[in-house]
């Protein structure tokens, strides 16, 4: 006790220091607990934010609402589709029976009638065709009964082939060497390879894309007319690719290739005179292969 009396201030100071240390430890513990809780909450918020931002589309932030923006863009897109529908008018199948099922007899008669009509249109437009050309329907041309479930697809393709052919007739190309379509019937398996295009139709959220490959011969003005015809058509024609090469070179390189047909129009040029004038323009006949897709819009929900 005497020591405490002699060191009273030291003892009081020590007790105060010990109390302050205890209080500091307590507050430190409370602060650590609070920080730990806050850190866990922050990690939860960060994890939620990371999950949201990884979504497609991201919902955005407090300044940009990507979900609302996406909805607005979808409304704009559907409005554009509605306004653009005039340029994607469907091509009527042949025969066009609306909701009624096409019979074998009806399709057989329509096929022969339309092949005859297309041959007549080609002759009127001075467009040369292969002999007795069946416009890619050689396998079905002589049939009276067709593979089960194929008549609807064949009727659609007949309508599309007719629409494509008439673009070339209107352009007055020199010759239409062939139209190739995608196989849609078991009857197509036995048809000539030259009638078919080794591709397939594709479907997305908006439309069905049906491809065709067409080979023809002409001069460059007629090629321009063909492209203009597809561009101005009310149907959804898209030229996916075009390959052009001199028809004369092709025939010379391949002895089995048919000779280029004569042009109904004279080749532009200047005939050399006595003075030996050089030709100013001597355009070559060209052999062109086009891949065309028909865009058929799906019914809007």
Q: Where are the domains of the chain?
A: 11-48, 86-255+284-297
| pLDDT tens sequence across 59-100 | 555 566 677 777 787 787 777 767 767 778 899 999 987 767
Please tell me the CATH code under which domain 86-255+284-297 is placed.
3.30.70.60
- The answer for residues whose C-beta is within 8 angstroms of residue 154's C-beta and 6 or more apart is 107, 111, 137, 140, 146, 184, 185
- The answer for residues whose C-beta is within 8 angstroms of residue 2's C-beta and 6 or more apart is none
| pLDDT tens sequence across 144-172 | 999 999 999 999 999 999 999 999 999 99
Only one residue has tokens 């020591």, namely 3
Query: Given this model, what pLDDT does residue 32 score?
Result: 59
Range 93-96 contact pairs with CB under 8 angstroms and sequence separation of 24 or more: 93/152, 93/155, 93/156, 93/158, 93/159, 94/155, 94/158, 94/159, 94/162, 95/155, 96/155, 96/159
The residue among 105, 102, 104, 134 whose CA lies nearest residue 117 is 134
Count other Cβ atoms within 10 Å, centred on residue 177.
21
pTM: predicted TM-score of the whole model, two decimal places: 0.66
To which H or E segment does residue 205 belong? none
| pLDDT tens sequence across 225-262 | 999 999 999 999 999 999 999 987 544 333 344 444 44
Residue 86 Rama label (left phi>0; alpha psi -120 to 50; beta): alpha
The residue among 130, 121, 126, 196 whose CA lies nearest residue 165 is 121
């Amino acid at each position: 006790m005497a020591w405490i009396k002699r060191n009273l201030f030291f003892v009081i100071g020590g007790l105060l220091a010990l109390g302050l240390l205890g209080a500091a430890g307590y507050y430190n513990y409370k602060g650590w607990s609070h920080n730990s809780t806050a850190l866990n909450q922050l990690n939860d918020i960060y994890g939620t934010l990371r999950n949201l931002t990884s979504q497609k589309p991201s919902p955005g932030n407090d300044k940009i609402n990507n979900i609302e923006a996406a909805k607005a863009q979808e409304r704009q897109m559907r409005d554009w589709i509605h306004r653009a529908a005039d340029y994607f008018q469907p091509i009527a199948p042949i025969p066009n029976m609306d909701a009624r099922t096409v019979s074998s007899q009806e399709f057989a008669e329509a096929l022969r009638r339309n092949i005859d009509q297309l041959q007549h249109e080609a002759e009127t437009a001075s467009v040369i065709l292969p002999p007795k050309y069946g416009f890619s329907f050689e396998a079905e041309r002589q049939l009276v009964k067709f593979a089960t479930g194929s008549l609807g697809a064949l009727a659609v393709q007949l309508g599309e082939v007719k629409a494509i052919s008439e673009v070339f007739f209107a352009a007055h190309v020199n010759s239409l060497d062939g139209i190739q379509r995608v196989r849609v019937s078991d009857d197509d398996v036995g048809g000539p390879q030259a009638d078919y295009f080794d591709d397939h139709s594709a479907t997305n959220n908006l439309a069905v894309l049906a491809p065709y490959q067409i080979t023809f011969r002409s001069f460059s003005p007629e090629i321009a007319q063909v492209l203009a015809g597809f561009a101005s058509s009310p149907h959804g024609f898209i030229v996916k690719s075009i390959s052009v090469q001199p028809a004369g070179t092709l025939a010379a390189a391949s002895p089995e290739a048919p000779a280029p047909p004569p042009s109904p129009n004279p080749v532009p040029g200047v005939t050399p005179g006595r003075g030996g004038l050089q030709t100013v323009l001597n355009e070559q006949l060209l052999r062109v292969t086009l891949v065309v897709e028909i865009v058929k819009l799906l019914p809007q929900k």
